[in-house]
Amino acid sequence: MKRGFFSLLQKFQITRLAAWWNRQRVVILCYHGVTERSKRHPSDRYGLHIRADRFEAQLDYLRRHYQVISLAEFVKACQNNAPLPDYSVVITFDDGYRNFLTCALPRLLARNMHVSIFLITDRIQPHNQSQLNQWSESDDEKFLSWEEVKTLQQHGVEIGSHTCSHRKLSEIVPVEAEHELFASHQTIATRLSQATMPLAFPYGSYSEATIAMTRKLPYTCALTTDAGTNNHATDLFSLRRNLIGDDDDEALFAARVSGLTTLFSAALRVPLRSLR
């Protein structure tokens, strides 16, 4: 029923109308992984790892209708109050699964698209697990190595922190939250010779206290998973992101990128997750 509804909205150009309405706002997309599997892994309950053909279709939709910019470009424009292209979209990946390197990145590079990835530093492997950069089933569960992360950096991928252990910062004591923010930053800064970086809050969980902690560290911005769009007036330390999953066909994906699902949720006053 949900898919049929958004298919009708796409057919009658309502989705494109919403995109036009939000054309001067920036949409940030949140992915987790891309897989070559033909069917979803039984353990991937929420469809976090998107099948490659669906991911390609989403990238091609973006190429037709949007301008993919880097997160750094958006942050710099906000800091300098500089203009951005209409229909701007930012692509991000959370967690640091190895399938980002072997499955997602080649498709992004082929389309010359910018991307940022947020690493859980405790899960990054000290050594390469494979000399091959071809996808294997284990890549959907394994995490990148530091050498592979450096390869991503060489390809222009922006590297950010997703904390050390991926705990909800708003639910742990302040001293532990501060350690998660500080230690993950220090690890990435040391490993990659990168002084500043963006942050993505694990599970999108944050509080005023964790935002205040983040502002004090050399982070350029912080991303939530609160759905919606962003502009120059949006607080850089509580940026909105739209979760994309394997259930998103083209019509639903188009609705998310246009901001239409957010508008419907606001109008109906229901949790955004019910539209997933």
CATH superfamily, domain at 2-275: Glycoside hydrolase/deacetylase (3.20.20.370)
Q: Is the pLDDT of residue 275 over 80?
A: no
Q: What is the pLDDT of residue 1?
A: 60
Q: What is the pLDDT of residue 42?
A: 84
Name the average pLDDT for the chain. 93
Q: Amino acid letter at 115?
A: V
Using an 8 Å Cβ cutoff, are 65 and 263 in contact?
Answer: no
> What number of other Cβ atoms are within 10 A of residue 62's Cβ?
21
Q: What is the DSSP string of 142-203?
A: -B-BHHHHHHHHHTTPEEEE--SS---GGGS-HHHHHHHHHHHHHHHHHHHT-S-EEEE-GG
Q: Is the pLDDT of residue 212 over 90?
A: yes
Instruction: Tell me the domain boundaries of the chain.
Output: 2-275
- Predicted TM-score (pTM) of this structure: 0.94
Q: CA–CA distance from 257 to each of 22, 52, 157, 253, 262 (Å)?
A: 10, 19, 21, 6, 10
The structure tokens 């701007």 sit at: 88
**51-63: pLDDT as tens digits:** 999 999 999 999 9
Q: Is the pLDDT of residue 129 over 80?
A: no
4 CB-contact burial (10 Å; exposed 0-12 / middle 13-18 / buried 19+): exposed
Q: How confident is the model at residue 5 (pLDDT cuts 50, 70, 90)?
A: confident
Using an 8 Å Cβ cutoff, are 115 and 155 in contact?
Answer: no
Span 204-222, average pLDDT: 97
Instruction: Kindly give the pairing relationship between strand 27-31 and strand 242-243.
Output: parallel
Q: How confident is the model at residue 3 (pLDDT cuts 50, 70, 90)?
A: confident
**pLDDT > 90: percent of the chain:** 85
Instruction: Kindly give the pairing relationship between strand 158-161 and strand 242-243.
Output: unpaired
